[in-house]
A and B are shown apart, each in its own frame.
Chain A
């Protein structure tokens, strides 16, 4: 008898083979067959029995398998054993029964997609909000200027600035206990109680999930306090909490999720409480969770990276520009000053009667003019005022001298010779030329002195003698003095005016007034005397009375016509020798003192 297998299955097969042997009363044929093929027949029967049993076991397998898997529990060996076939089965199912897989996963995929879209929209809204908020602020204007300067869209500049962030801490936290599995911090940050922080974060997450999550598996994803932002990425066994400042890019969350998936893969079957002491995990997590590594992996500069960037050249360029502008302004001012000083120097050098010996100038502060100045030269005041030297203080240090400049010599000659109004003077090459009319006395004086004027080499005098107004007046006055006694007012008798006497009175008045007008010009004092005369007829006494009467009459008549005796009444006189019945006016002239 052959043996087949071990245990119960083999025994059952043997029993079946024994049962197949023929009874003793079997016919010869059967006995012969048994003799010839007994062993084979028994083997065949045993094989049949085994096949029957295997079929039975296979039929029972679907009922037994779930029980066996349940009994195995979460044994790692079972999970490992199933991992490959399940993965292949899933692949085959996706290839061959895609719709069934899609329908099955739909309840899971839907929320995942919605969550992803919501996250993307939230990031987009945050970016848009940032852009809108920053549009009208000082920072926004600065960004606009930067965009204009760089020739890039404003949105790009906004995104660039808003994506500046810094990761301070990263915690890997056991999901259930809240214990820290790994903690990484940015350099130069003060130490903190990571366990307490992780615990509180877990507790807050529990609180939020229990309070508002309504048991739907929702959990705390992010929290923000002031400038600090905490992102929590949930995993089945551990959570990742990232403490940041600034506005991180949406891609960072995806990176954190990826890191957390890698961590879960690395954890494998390891108990969480053993993870912190696993050196290999510690090294791996240090590399993947380090803030700098995360920032680098996120592909966007953060605040730390910004600190490592070479400093912007703009401030330096701006300073250089300012310095250049300052220099340009300085040199422009200096040029303007120099131009004005040059112009001033030219004017001073051209100024008659002034010899410029030095011009010291401190730009826009002080100017000192040194030179020789003729007293008869024009003042420098006008030139200095027109020089437009701003608030610069101007000093003139002048030494006296005599200029031979024609203009100055002419002025000096005019001053020294006291040119009368009728004489013109000019100087050319030291030749003083005098033209016009002047009194004889001045002409004589000028002839004597003109050659003495400094700077005059020669005098050309063409001045004609001018009449003396005093003498003229005196001459006319003398003429009047002779004429007035000839203008005799005729009387018919004692005091009766003869015919034609009125016109004689008019002539006397005109001549007397002319004499009064000439008196000042002739430098003379004049006096009028009304003189009466008579003919030979009559007694002396009567004639004397008539003479007095006629003299009185003429004096009164002239006074009535506005003629006086120089503030005094016209004096009365007699002329007995005239032998005419008349009265006349006598003019007496006395030279003024």
Chain B
């Protein structure tokens, strides 16, 4: 029996590191050069959940946006999970991510959600306060990630796997 596949959408503001997180997760690579995503890029990766069950993620890396338009909503259709991504060095990106979560709830009321606060390698420049993250953790699983070093990336997807698999 093949691993069950789940559609995961990456949502977040421009330049928060969604594509870098996908590259780190799928190909274990990191490119320091910034290339904005046009439209959407789909990748897939199979992994084992923390419980040891195989799972396949079909990751939709949706172009960065501050609000969800019709096309963005279309891309979310059928998604089982959302990985919100914010940039720790830009506090505004966190509110954008939460705003996108609110907007996506209409289309995806039951989707599993996790928040990745990215750029942990630049933690000394972070604007997002630990207290803020602690507050969010009450309602969402939050992961401090670094696409550069890979910290927290696997953990974020592992959390999604745990929540997706019965």
Give me the interface of A with B, judged by CB distance under 8 Å: 174-180, 193, 195-200, 202-203, 206-207, 209-211, 273, 276-277
Contacts and interface: CB of A to CB of B under 8 A. Distances in A.
B2 interface: yes
A203 B10 CA distance: 14
Residue among B2, B41, B58, B70 with max Cβ neighbours from chain A (10 Å): B58
Contact of A207 (B1, B5, B6, B39): B39
A195 B44 contact: yes
Contact of B58 (A195, A207, A209, A210): A195
B40 A176 contact: no
Interface of B: 1-2, 4-7, 39-44, 56, 58, 60, 70-71, 74-75, 77-80
Contacts of A202: 42
Contact of A277 (B2, B58, B60, B79): B2
16 contacts: A177-B7, A177-B58, A178-B78, A179-B58, A193-B44, A196-B43, A200-B42, A203-B40, A203-B42, A203-B60, A206-B71, A207-B40, A207-B71, A209-B74, A210-B70, A211-B71
Contact of A210 (B4, B5, B71): B71
A178 B75 CA distance: 9
Given A193-B43, A209-B74, 4 more contacts: A177-B78, A179-B5, A179-B78, A277-B1
Given A177-B7, A179-B58, A203-B40, A210 B2 contact: no
Contacts of B5: 179-180, 195, 273, 276
A288 B135 CA distance: 53
Contacts of B43: 193, 196
Given A195-B44, A277-B2, A177 B77 contact: yes
B39 A199 contact: no
Contacts of A273: 4-5
Nearest to B42: A199
Given A195-B5, A207-B71, A176 B77 contact: yes
Nearest to A210: B71
B2 A195 contact: no
B74 A206 contact: yes
Contacts of A207: 39-40, 71
Given A179-B7, A277-B1, A199 B60 contact: yes
A535 B60 CA distance: 168
A176 B78 contact: yes
A203 B44 CA distance: 14
A286 to B, nearest CB: 13
A137 B162 CA distance: 62
Residue among B6, B41, B77 with max Cβ neighbours from chain A (10 Å): B77
B4 A199 contact: no
Nearest to B70: A210
The interface residues of chain A, by DSSP majority, are classed as helix
A277 B166 CA distance: 15
B39 to A, nearest CB: 6
A177 B43 CA distance: 13
Contacts of A199: 7, 42, 44, 58, 60
A198 B44 CA distance: 10
A197 B44 CA distance: 9
Nearest to B38: A207
A180 B1 CA distance: 14
Contacts of A193: 43-44
A180 B41 CA distance: 16
Nearest to B44: A195
A178 B4 contact: no
A580 to B, nearest CB: 154
Contacts of A210: 70-71, 74
A307 to B, nearest CB: 31
Contacts of B1: 277
Contacts of A195: 5, 42, 44, 56, 58
B4 A277 contact: yes
A179 B78 CA distance: 9
Nearest to A204: B39
Nearest to A199: B42
Given A193-B43, A196-B42, A210-B70, A203 B7 contact: no
Contact of B7 (A178, A206, A276, A277): A178
B64 to A, nearest CB: 15
Residue among A209, A210, A211 with max Cβ neighbours from chain B (10 Å): A210
Contacts of B78: 174-179
B56 A203 contact: no
A177 B79 contact: yes
A196 B70 CA distance: 22
A176 B79 CA distance: 8
B4 A203 contact: no
A280 to B, nearest CB: 14
A203 B76 CA distance: 10
A210 B77 CA distance: 13
B75 A203 contact: yes
Residue among B40, B42, B60, B78 with max Cβ neighbours from chain A (10 Å): B42
A206 B75 contact: yes
A196 B44 contact: yes
A180 B6 CA distance: 10
Given A177-B77, A193-B44, A210-B74, A203 B58 contact: no
A276 B2 contact: yes
Contacts of A200: 40-42
A180 B42 CA distance: 13
A178 B42 contact: yes
Contacts of A178: 7, 42, 58, 60, 78
Contacts of A196: 42-44, 58
Nearest 8 pairs of A and B residues by beta carbon: A177-B78, A199-B42, A176-B78, A195-B44, A206-B74, A177-B7, A203-B40, A195-B58
A201 B40 CA distance: 11
A71 B80 CA distance: 27
Contacts of A206: 71, 74-75, 77
Contacts of B71: 206-207, 210-211
Contacts of B6: 179
A197 B40 CA distance: 12
A210 B98 CA distance: 25
Contacts of B74: 206, 209-210
A301 B7 CA distance: 38
Nearest to A279: B1
A177 B80 contact: yes
Nearest to B7: A177
